[in-house]
Structure 1
Amino acid sequence: MSEHVNERVKCLILGSGPAGYTAAIYAARANMSPVLYEGMEPGGQLTTTTEVDNFPGYPQGVVGPQLMEDLKNQALRFNTDIRFGYATSADLSQRPFKVTIDESKVVEADTLIIATGATAKYLGLDSEQKFRGQGVSACATCDGFFYKGQDVVVVGGGDTAAEEASYLSTICRKVYLVVRRHELRASKAMQQKVFNTPNIEVLFGHQTKEVLGDMSGVNGVLLVSDKGEERKVDITGFFVAIGHQPNTGFLNGQLELDEVGYIKTEAGTSKTNIEGVFAAGDVKDPHYRQAITAAGSGCIAALDAERFFNMVKA
């Protein structure tokens, strides 16, 4: 398909999680007339979360979809142009940057803010998807509080899994760490922490066969050992901690990424290795992955983009 440029914008924002919407609010207020494409998952990962109790300004808590709707409406209030569609490719070789949307429309942008997020990896079980948000989670620091005093499972053997198990052990009665291999891949320090925590039980050589539950949510998990033996464990929370995949495929290697695929930024900024291209939220953050840190980095990206645009324009 022959591509032709359909329009040129001052500020193009890719992604509609807390980072993208916050960037839009700041960019719009700076008269940059931002155009935001919502991406594959409008509202981002929070739309699959039920209660959010740790976002400032909501003393009674808020459900994830409502929080994202509020952020979206705030961006719209300042005349952000919010559109359906997702970036399928980009040409960052020169300014204005060219971004192809839905494999057909090309938008030229003087500044580009990438807030495409990261997708949590799941095991791929139907039962796991069925109970997402009803006992199945990919974020212990987001959802662990709801399982206070209860028994939970964490799946994974790396640093993330060890960290999540350790965190949950301070809240939950019992944490089962289900590890496919016969060893942890986590750092030695994290391994020591796990092994020295009395309410964490590590189940080596086990995989999840089925997440069990009913109308009220998860109530158990069926595990199978590498010897073929099945074991049912009664739990109310099932945390998947096998990593995230940053949504950077459309960039085709044009930006500097780390070994996993997260966008590298200059310390303390949103600046990438290409002037005029900025990154915010989970697409550049393998460590914190919180709505509030994503929102903060969206603010930083918009301020960086505004300063860059004004400097180039001058």
Structure 2
Amino acid sequence: MCSRKEREKVYCDVLILGGGPAGLSAAIYTARAKLFTVVVDEGLVGGQVASTFHVANYPGTNGVVRGIDLMDNMKKQAEDFGAIIDDMKEVSELNLEGEEKFVKTDDTDYYAKSVIIATGATPRKLPAEGEREFRGRGVHYCATCDGAMYQDANVIVVGGGNSAVEEAVFLTRYVKHVTLIHQLDHFQASKAAQEELFKNPNISIIWNSQVKKIIGENFVKAVLIENVNTKETQEIETDGVFVYIGMEPKTDFLKGKVKMNERGYIITDEDMQTNIPGVFAVGDVREKKVRQIATATGDGVVAGVIVEKYLAEKQLIFAGKA
């Protein structure tokens, strides 16, 4: 006879969905305020930052810090104040209405007096024929994760923002040569990032072009690119393609649950409050102009402070129990 495992029930003051810099910063503040705080993440905590090789502009560091080290520090700080981290938990159902919010994962039911959405954003997929087939077999979205596989190889980087330019430079630690393909005739990256790229002899640039097709058998062998002005095409041999063409908010599971803009970013006020009482949104997932680690942590801090005030006003603080 098969026995059915009883689902775990967790009751908390603050449930934070997402364990990147925004979510962990909020957790540090709410846990320090003695609110029973639980952070739920569908993967390992750390967000995009954990897979960034180095961060050079985060205030208070010695110039450069590894992304994973920065996030490990934030995680430890949140846990030291009493926050519970539940990683590898994918949300399958939720109800954000009412005074008690409900969030369901594969093995746990969470009941919370407030919810902070910090699910972040995910890399936009390359809109080219063959992208899905060769994803993980030559098409990648994280140079820090996969760059070491391409020792002495020739690779392509697609994009023109900070991530594309910085990761192209990073890849030259491993690869023989990087060809950067950008659909415009100029970069949107910072001046400092561009200077690093332009002085690197192992990087060449193809302007005004976009990748139309990924070519290969078991693994990528080439790409077909098209000039956006002349419409001329050419095939370029390559061992791998690293894509940095922007981000998309991870809000699919929230459609119809909270107010968003046309691109799927959650709309909040300056206190990080959404249109649902007791529900807040922070970091890359919310509608705003600047998305940096420092602005994500700032969002988290604001939400952490406001949530404490919200719960105090509602007189809903109660001892959390699993």
Instruction: Report the equivalent of 2:23.
Output: 20
Instruction: Report the equivalent of 1:194.
Output: none
Instruction: Report the equivalent of 1:240.
Output: 244
Instruction: Report the equivalent of 1:106.
Output: 109
CA positional deviation for 1:166: 8.6
| 1:230-268: CA deviation from partner (whole Å, max 9, x where unpaired) | 1359xx995521x322111222311001111111101x2
Instruction: Decide whether the 8 Å contact of 2:140 with 2:241 is kept in 1.
Output: no
Pair 1:229 & 2:234 matched? yes
Distance 1:154 1:67, change over 3 A: farther
1:299 pairs, out of 287, 298, 301, with 301
* Aligned residue type for 1:163: Q
Distance 1:166 1:61, change over 3 A: closer
2:188 pairs, out of 163, 176, 185, with 163
1:172 pairs, out of 187, 193, 197, with 197
Instruction: Decide whether the 8 Å contact of 1:118 with 1:245 is kept in 2.
Output: yes
Q: Distance in 1 between matches of 2:190 and 2:205?
A: 8
Instruction: Decide whether the 8 Å contact of 2:17 with 2:118 is kept in 1.
Output: yes
CA positional deviation for 1:8: 1.8
Q: Distance in 2 between matches of 1:120 and 1:79?
A: 32
1:115 pairs, out of 115, 118, 121, with 118
* Aligned residue type for 1:95: E
The alignment partner of 1:112 has SS state of strand
Instruction: Could you tell me which runs of 5 or more consecutive residues in structure 2 were left unpaired when the two chains were aligned.
Output: 148-154, 171-176, 317-322
Q: Distance in 2 between matches of 1:208 and 1:152?
A: 16
Distance 1:250 1:131, change over 3 A: closer
- RMSD of aligned alpha carbons: 3.7
Instruction: Report the equivalent of 1:91.
Output: 95
| 1:129-166: CA deviation from partner (whole Å, max 9, x where unpaired) | 28622385879435745739x97625557xxx963499
Q: Distance in 2 between matches of 1:300 and 1:170?
A: 35
Q: Distance in 2 between matches of 1:112 and 1:63?
A: 29
Q: Distance in 2 between matches of 1:139 and 1:47?
A: 22
Distance 1:263 1:74, change over 3 A: same
Instruction: Report the equivalent of 1:192.
Output: none
The alignment partner of 2:139 has SS state of helix
Q: How does 1:35-184 map to 2 (within 5 A)?
A: 35-84=38-87, 85-102=89-106, 104-123=107-126, 124=131, 125=134, 126-129=137-140, 132-133=143-144, 134=147, 140-141=161-162, 144-145=165-166, 147=169, 153-155=180-182, 163-164=188-189, 169=194, 172-173=197-198, 176=205
| 1:12-64: CA deviation from partner (whole Å, max 9, x where unpaired) | 11111001111110001111121111223531112221111121222141221
Deviates more, 1:221-230 or 1:5-14: 221-230
Instruction: Report the equivalent of 1:250.
Output: 253
Q: Distance in 1 between matches of 2:19 and 2:181?
A: 28
Q: Distance in 1 between matches of 2:160 and 2:50?
A: 13
Q: Distance in 2 between matches of 1:165 and 1:151?
A: 19
1:207 pairs, out of 202, 212, 233, with 212
TM-score (norm 1): 0.73
Distance 1:140 1:254, change over 3 A: same
Instruction: Report the equivalent of 1:185.
Output: none
| 1:254-295: CA deviation from partner (whole Å, max 9, x where unpaired) | 1001111111101x2201001110001111146322111111
Task: Provide the aligned length of Structure 1 versus Structure 2.
Answer: 274
Instruction: Could you tell me which runs of 5 or more consecutive residues in structure 1 were left unpaired when the two chains were aligned.
Output: 178-200, 212-219
* Aligned residue type for 1:35: V
* Aligned residue type for 2:299: S
TM-score (norm 2): 0.72
Instruction: Report the equivalent of 1:311.
Output: 313
Q: Distance in 2 between matches of 1:151 and 1:165?
A: 19
